[in-house]
Amino acid sequence: MSKSLIPKDAAELVRQSGALVKRGLELASLTKTQEAFIPEEDCLRLTQRKRTLTRSIGPLPKEFEQGKTANPHDVNSFDVNRWLTEVYDSIQLNNGLTLDYVYAFDAHGGEPFLYARLKSAPPFETVEDLFAAFSIVRPEMLLGDEPTATLCKPFATALSFSPTSKGFFQFALFCMSARRFYLYWHSNYNDRKYILTREAIHFCIENRIGDITTEEQNLLRTIDPRPRVRIQGTRADVSLLCFETNLGYSRLRVFLRWPNAFERFEDERIIKPHSALLY
């Protein structure tokens, strides 16, 4: 029978049936448990892009440091949308939205808090406005607050990515590190660096980052630094090797839920610290 002889309602049923089969296959693929390592060349390219952008951000604007404003649109400051346009190529903003932030400053430190808004909507003027809108309790002291589901929700829910190992990896790294700029005083306590390649491992060993002993150097040589992504249904956990001056070397596990939820992270200590940051 030619297509022209198929009744319109029957043709629509065929179309809907095909769409349901396609959706069923997509859902079936999401229920399988998958585990994969992110290729080192992908990690190297992302690391280079991230390093290039970070170096271009510049110093903390004096207006933030002096407490004159919390709104980045009042000063010549970093555009956080550049994280997505220049670094994280597997993450997109949903239509009509833009990333933004307000700067929090007090006697102990200073750091940005990210959120997303409609492009047509005015930005928040203060961090209190942002926290009130999203029911966030302001930290007693600004010490480089770690990512939490509450702190990530104002911006994470505006993002989209495919439920692949690369998509989950980039979303995890973005949530963990997107606020690490314009840090002031005690907010620098969290100086986490991600070790994603063999080249980064060699750098840590050759420069004895963390004052590691010979035994600890040998231990690092045995570690595969590639991020590991385990996907089960709509949930995933991403394993990342990292170093912090105050915490030493550890393996982070970042727990996510597709389409765009950061849930929590856990860390497993590999090498204890030998020194500490003092401010």
Alpha-carbon distance of 114 to 266, in angstroms, equals: 22
The tokens for 102 are: 């307000």
Supply the pLDDT for residue 277.
Answer: 61
Share of the chain above pLDDT 70, in %: 87
Supply the pLDDT for residue 31.
Answer: 65
| Residue 117, strand partner residues | 98
Alpha-carbon distance of 232 to 234, in angstroms, equals: 6
- Give mean pLDDT, residues 57-75: 95
Among 117, 139, 119, CA closest to 127: 139
- Give mean pLDDT, residues 65-73: 94
Residue 18 pLDDT > 60, yes or no?
A: no
The tokens for 244 are: 């912090």
Supply the pLDDT for residue 4.
Answer: 40
Dihedral of the alpha carbons of 238, 37, 43, 54, in degrees to the nearest 10 = 0
Alpha-carbon distance of 271 to 247, in angstroms, equals: 8
Cα 185–chain centre separation = 23
pLDDT in tens, 85-143: 999 999 999 999 999 999 999 888 999 999 999 999 999 999 999 999 999 998 877 77
For residues 240 and 251, is the Cβ–Cβ distance under 8 A? yes
The tokens for 108 are: 């102990």
Which positions ≥6 away from 153 have C-beta within 8 Å? 134, 261, 262
Residue 6 pLDDT > 50, yes or no?
A: no
For residues 245 and 210, is the Cβ–Cβ distance under 8 A? yes
Phi, psi of 24 (to 5 degrees): -65, -40
pLDDT in tens, 176-188: 999 999 999 988 8
Supply the pLDDT for residue 14.
Answer: 42
For residues 221 and 244, is the Cβ–Cβ distance under 8 A? no
* DSSP symbol at 59: S
Supply the pLDDT for residue 19.
Answer: 56
Supply the pLDDT for residue 23.
Answer: 54
Phi, psi of 215 (to 5 degrees): -60, -40
Domain boundaries, the chain: 34-271
Mean pLDDT of the chain: 89
Among 208, 195, 257, 204, CA closest to 232: 257
pLDDT in tens, 184-235: 998 888 889 999 999 999 999 999 999 999 999 999 999 999 999 999 999 9
Phi, psi of 191 (to 5 degrees): -110, 40
For residues 227 and 38, is the Cβ–Cβ distance under 8 A? yes
For residues 46 and 87, is the Cβ–Cβ distance under 8 A? yes
Cα 219–chain centre separation = 28
Q: pTM for the full model?
A: 0.87
Alpha-carbon distance of 116 to 113, in angstroms, equals: 11
